[in-house]
Structure 1
Amino acid sequence: MENVLTCEKRNYSREFNAHQHEFGQFLFPLQGSLEIKTKWQEINLNPEHCFYLPPNCEHKYRSVDRNEFLILDIPTQYLPGDTDSMFITMDRQWDSIRYLLMEESESRRNKSSLADLTRYVTSKLETSAPASIAYIHEHYKEAIRLEILAELEHYHPVYYSSWFKKKTGKSLKAYINELRLKEAKHLLHSTGWSMTKISEELGFENPSSFTRWFVNLEEVPPYKYRKLQKG
């Protein structure tokens, strides 16, 4: 298929097909589901989600039921550099995007409006937090299993850690430690809470484990850090 901006409805067969393309692609299920397999992901795509496939990503796909999909093929000049696949839950904003793309696919009169809409859609590849990273920000005070994070991105766990470091520039452990440390410093500076209460708030088993962790990162005990901050 040519590397041109295209928005249209498509149907898929029951047999697995395999290919890759030089452009990016958004898939919006309208009816039915689609099985997609990449090297590191296995996805069952349904109308509650959409999916972005980056350029040159080899994938297999098939649909075993009656189906219809809205497909947006995006030439590389519209993409924000190197992109990763993204599994997205449909919310009000993405529903609106799908509706506007449907309108464009049916009218096909104004290529510039489709181009503008495509630029808006691709900008979300940079601004939308991946599901696993959003989960970390909500649950960093708890024990977080790698398998849960990998499942949220539909990645194999063996690949997730390297994907995460590429995405954030940090290891998973360092990223979570940074969030916890920021909150620990905030609590030490802005509250009069005891070390016991702060350690409980941050999910540590006891004040001793919190103190050891804090010293390991800051080279000063938390109570001393508090004194230094408050002068």
Structure 2
Amino acid sequence: MESGKQVICEKRTYSKEFDSHQHNFGQFLFPLQGSLDLQTKWQKINLNSDYCFYLPPECNHMYRSTDRNEFLILDIPNHYLPSKTESMYMKLDKQWSSIRFLLLEEARDQENITAALSDLTRYVAQKLRVSTSPSIDFIHNHYKESIRVETLAEIEHYHPVYYSSWFKQKTGKSPKAYITELRLNDAKRLLKTTSWSMSSISEEIGFENSSSFTRWFVKCEGKPPQKFRKN
């Protein structure tokens, strides 16, 4: 089977010595046992059974496993993939666990590339187009709190300097601007749809008091929240 031309789904193990390479296809790694130390140019992770990881084509990486290990590997030819993909470190939630289970079933028969495996591979590739990154999920769950870029970078296992550039490429905004927009939209919604006091809204949005909320709102919107509500 020519590497990079056909789908390959199989179990693999890795040695204790660091190795390094890149390949001309995408690759999903699903831990079954043990963990894998992985390093790319900007990421350094220890991949364990709680997560899965996607490596895009032409991404040079170093890897090793220091314990007894087994991984389910899905090699995805380029013609299945979106035009541009990036490495993704994802929580192995119920949906990804179900996908792993189905892939394990297909991995039993490596003599034939079944229609089911092809369909599964297309589905996995489609999820790359719509999946959100863990740090962006974190922002949506915690944007009312104080969030440091270093915290977000750590979630993605990126260097903080690279993370800000990566985030802007992905969203079109800096992390600070993205968080501000979420808070502002929430503040506007509360001002329009509730009769809450400024103190209650400021507390809900994550400000210590209504004065700091008002100053922030004027800076963002150009008018005080009271006037925004009135209009």
Match of 2:11 in 1: 9
Distance 1:19 1:72 in 2: 16
Match of 2:81 in 1: 79
Q: Is 2:165 aligned against 1:162?
A: yes
Distance 1:163 1:76 in 2: 22
Where does structure 1 lack aligned partners over 5 or more consecutive residues? none
After superposition, the CA RMSD in angstroms is 1.2
SS at match of 1:121: helix
TM-superposed CA distance for 1:205, in Å, is 2.4
Q: 1:92 aligns with which of 91, 94, 117?
A: 94
Distance 2:81 2:45 in 1: 23
Deviations 1:47-96 (A, max 9, x none): 22111011111100001111111110111111112111111111221111
Q: Where do residues 112-151 of structure 1 align in structure 2 (5 Å cutoff)?
A: 112-151=115-154
Distance 2:196 2:32 in 1: 52
Where does structure 2 lack aligned partners over 5 or more consecutive residues? none
Output the amino acid matched with 2:65.
S
SS at match of 2:9: strand
Match of 1:51 in 2: 53
Distance 2:229 2:115 in 1: 57
Which sits farther off after the overlay, 110-119 or 39-48? 110-119
Output the amino acid matched with 2:202.
S
TM-superposed CA distance for 1:111, in Å, is 3.0
Match of 1:204 in 2: 207
TM-superposed CA distance for 1:29, in Å, is 1.1
TM-superposed CA distance for 1:127, in Å, is 1.7
Match of 1:220 in 2: 223
SS at match of 1:29: strand
TM-superposed CA distance for 1:209, in Å, is 1.7
Distance 2:23 2:209 in 1: 53
Q: How many residues align?
A: 228
Deviations 1:119-173 (A, max 9, x none): 1111111222111111101111110011111111111111111111111111111
Which sits farther off after the overlay, 198-207 or 20-29? 198-207
Distance 1:166 1:3 in 2: 27
SS at match of 2:108: helix
Output the amino acid matched with 2:147.
I
Q: 1:26 aligns with which of 17, 25, 28?
A: 28
TM-score, with length taken from structure 1: 0.95
Distance 1:212 1:65 in 2: 54
